Amino acid sequence: MNVLIIHAHPEPQSFTAALREQALRTLQAQGHSVQVSDLYAMNWNPVASAGDFATRDNPDYLVYALEQRLGVKNGSLADDIRQELDKLLWADLLILNFPLYWFSVPAILKGWIDRVLVSGICYGGKRFYDQGGLVGKKALVTVTLGGREHMFGEGAIHGPLEDMLRPLLRGTLAYVGLDVLPPYVAWHVPYITAEAREQFLVGYHRRLEQLDQDSPLVFPRLEQFDEALYPIG
């Protein structure tokens, strides 16, 4: 299996980085090939802009998704986008490894999503959800956060974590056709002991060793909707 880990944490010694290293070790020991994009170390540019295209279909008015489609065809996508896109297309499993910022991904990772998941390859027209451009690949979200586990779930103060992660799990990863595995969550990280952190690393190791037994989350399938995308029945 080819695995791409997208890592987004501003502190190189962070526990989130330890999870990245754990994934690298565990997956390589299983014989998988692993590439890591360390967005902070790469000084990744997260801002989608006109500068992302060497040539433009319409130089006077930017419609970003349209220029992506053209850029895919004529090779005018910026080099940094093309390099990440090549890694993504190479990968069978995409791991997003990050600390939760405002119940979501850090901006530098949002900008990887905004710029790399290009229209024309990853989605476009009726190619989304189970018809998405990346069908056949898997995705795993590995997230560290400050909150405690009991603050999430039905009736809990923040509600279910998967509801907070909905635009990422459903609106992004499932949208482009990926099989989205249940997230791996390390709770309360800034406040716990070294032993508790070690337990999360051990749990992550075990989880990664048995990843092929995970059932993906369930999302809509296009066959449940008509041509205009109204629900059928």
Give the residues lining the site for its own copies (CB under 8 A).
Answer: 10-11, 13-14, 40, 46-50, 61-65, 101-108, 110-111, 113-114, 117, 129, 146, 148, 150-151, 155-159, 163-168, 170-172, 175, 190, 220, 222, 224-225, 228-231
Query: Cβ of residue 162: shortest distance to its own copies, in angstroms?
Result: 11
Contact (Cβ atoms closer than 8 angstroms) between residue 190 and residue 146: yes
Question: In sequence order, what DSSP letters do the residues of 38-55 get, joined into one string?
Answer: ETTTTT------GGGBSS
Query: Cβ of residue 174: shortest distance to its own copies, in angstroms?
Result: 11
Residue 182, Ramachandran bin (φ over 0: left; ψ between -120 and 50: alpha; else beta): beta
What single DSSP character describes residue 218?
A: P
d(CA 83, CA 77): 10
Whose Cβ is closer to its own copies: residue 113's or residue 181's? 113
AA letter at 27 = L
* Cβ-based neighbour number of residue 175 at 10 Å: 23
Rg value, the chain, Cα = 18
Whose Cβ is closer to its own copies: residue 175's or residue 204's? 175
Whose Cβ is closer to its own copies: residue 34's or residue 161's? 161
Whose Cβ is closer to its own copies: residue 27's or residue 106's? 106
Whose Cβ is closer to its own copies: residue 28's or residue 224's? 224
Whose Cβ is closer to its own copies: residue 27's or residue 133's? 133
AA letter at 102 = W
Question: In sequence order, what DSSP letters do the residues of 69-103 get, joined into one string?
Answer: HHHHHHT-B-HHHHHHHHHHHH-SEEEEEEE-BTT
Query: Cβ of residue 224: shortest distance to its own copies, in angstroms?
Result: 8
Query: Cβ of residue 18: shortest distance to its own copies, in angstroms?
Result: 13
Query: Cβ of residue 204: shortest distance to its own copies, in angstroms?
Result: 21
d(CA 190, CA 135): 36
Query: Cβ of residue 213: shortest distance to its own copies, in angstroms?
Result: 28
What single DSSP character describes residue 141?
A: E
